[in-house]
Amino acid sequence: MIVSSSLISSVSPWLRTLGVATAIGMAALSPASAQQRNPEQKVGETVLDQPAQSYRFEHFVLDSPDKARRWRVNIGVPAKASATPAPVLYMLDGNAAAMVLDQSMLADLAAHAAPVLVFIGYDNDLRIDSPARTLDYTAWIDTADDENGTSQSSGGGAYAFLDLIERRIKPEVQRRASIDLQQQSLWGHSLGGLFVVSTLYTRPAAFQHYVSASPSLWWSQGAPLGDMERQFIANTQGQPAQVTVMLGGDERTGNRGVRDMTNPRVVAHLRRIGGATPDAAQQLATRLAKVPGLTVQYREFPGLGHGPMLPASLKATLSQLYGIADRSGTPAPAP
């Protein structure tokens, strides 16, 4: 079921008309930041490191052509072989995603649809690699002032990253596990949710189910709400796909709690995320629901902000796709 209200413009009009001071104040009511509060948080032990029970795990590492970047892909394969090809879930921010799962969830998955689980991360021990994901998950270059008032540009690597998934990661996964190519799903949160949206726009046949959790639609002054969306809606020929958009209730209402407006970094980031209204993801779901061939679901998590939406949305996705118990609950606030 789609929860909907009025449509939004491709770029928030108030950003063009209000003064900087007013815009900053209003941005404090915007959706939560895609940046991590603790960018140095380590992964620690996860199911990937534990003895195999219902799932066995293996991994491979890919280098960029210039050897400057490395991606680590972990694959979870049900320990009990199935006579039929398995559905597969590709998860962005693979290190963080692995921290969400536990052995009871894996046992539940193995007893139901027994999907192959693919964690696409980076070859380090960081929960979130902010610089790497900022490049890989964004189809648009974002230029904005940092806390020192210096203009900085970042992003724009989503097309190359999608090529990496399609041409290198998927073939290797299919070599290691029996995959049902008609049951491929992609999940991402924040900038990862934005990547899910741009993948739907540019290669809608790459996956059959797209799960975009708390997508950073504010990126590049709201560019994701502009021409690419309009072209996708206008040019689609009924390519079938299931789309799920998830959003925390506190994100939609703009409830950000207390923010330190004396911190230049906070102010700079709040200015950036003013590129979309707090309910932009909800409104996007409403528009996509009108596209022929798409089956769209919008789900909201009451009381949750941006950070807690990562584990909640992944748990909900596993329940929705594979029929296990919904463990999303109400996670503790992000540290």
The total number of residues shown for the chain amounts to 335
Counting Cα atoms < 13 Å in the Cβ hemisphere of 311 gives 18
260: left (phi over 0), alpha (psi -120 to 50) or beta: beta
Q: Rounded to whole angstroms, how far apart are CA atoms 213 and 42?
A: 22
* Paired tokens of 312: 């909640």
Catalytic residue among 54, 190, 212, 220: 190
Identify the DSSP state of 299. Answer: E
Active site residue 190: yes
Residue 265's identity, in one-letter code, is R
Say what angle helices 264-272 and 20-27 make with each other, to 10 degrees.
90
Q: What are phi and psi of 201, to 5 degrees?
A: -65, -40
Q: Is there a contact between 143 and 88 (Cβ–Cβ < 8 Å)?
A: no
* Paired tokens of 330: 């109400």
Catalytic residue among 189, 209, 269, 306: 306
Active site residue 251: yes
Q: Rounded to whole angstroms, how far apart are CA atoms 31 and 61?
A: 34
* Paired tokens of 120: 């696409």
First to last CA, the chain: 32
Counting Cα atoms < 13 Å in the Cβ hemisphere of 267 gives 14
CA 13 to chain CA mean position, Å:
26
Active site residue 40: no
Query: Which residues lie across from 126 on neighbouring strands?
Result: 42
Catalytic residue among 30, 189, 209, 251: 251
CA 239 to chain CA mean position, Å:
22
As annotated, the active-site residues are 190, 251, 306
